Copies of this chain bind each other. A is one copy, B any other.
Amino acid sequence: MEPNPVVKGSLTTIILKLLEDNGRMYGYEMTKAVRESTANKMSITEAALYPALHKLVEDGLLTTTSEKVDGRIRKYYALTKQGKKETHSKIQALKEALDSVQLILNPKLSNG
């Protein structure tokens, strides 16, 4: 079974959360981390991931450093000070949004 793409609009926040938890990561590592933590149910596609990473750097939320490991280039990403600040509020906002959708999918039956 192919893993499904992650919930739309959540990618940026997921990246920030991964970096908050792990300090620094490279792109390919993030795709594996998501597949693992969701038991292969969801994945982030590289075609969505890399542009999102570049935008976060552009917006000043991430910094990047390249390293050669085993003959291959890795671009590590880490949160900037500003990135750390915004991470908290974005995670909070996403959690609340998810909770609201849950409320709609599991509405209160209480009318009596």
Contacts and interface: CB of A to CB of B under 8 A. Distances in A.
A4 B96 CA distance: 10
Given A37-B107, A93-B4, A95-B105, A100 B42 contact: yes
A18 to B, nearest CB: 7
Contact of A37 (B9, B17, B93, B108): B108
Interface string A68-86: 0000000000000000000
Interface residues of A, number: 32
Contact of A97 (B4, B39, B99, B104): B4
The prevalent SS among residues of A at the interface is helix
17 contacts: A4-B93, A4-B96, A6-B97, A6-B104, A7-B7, A8-B8, A8-B9, A8-B10, A10-B101, A14-B105, A17-B104, A37-B104, A37-B108, A39-B103, A94-B105, A98-B101, A98-B102
Interface of A: 4, 6-10, 14, 17-18, 21, 34, 37-39, 41-42, 91, 93-105, 107-108
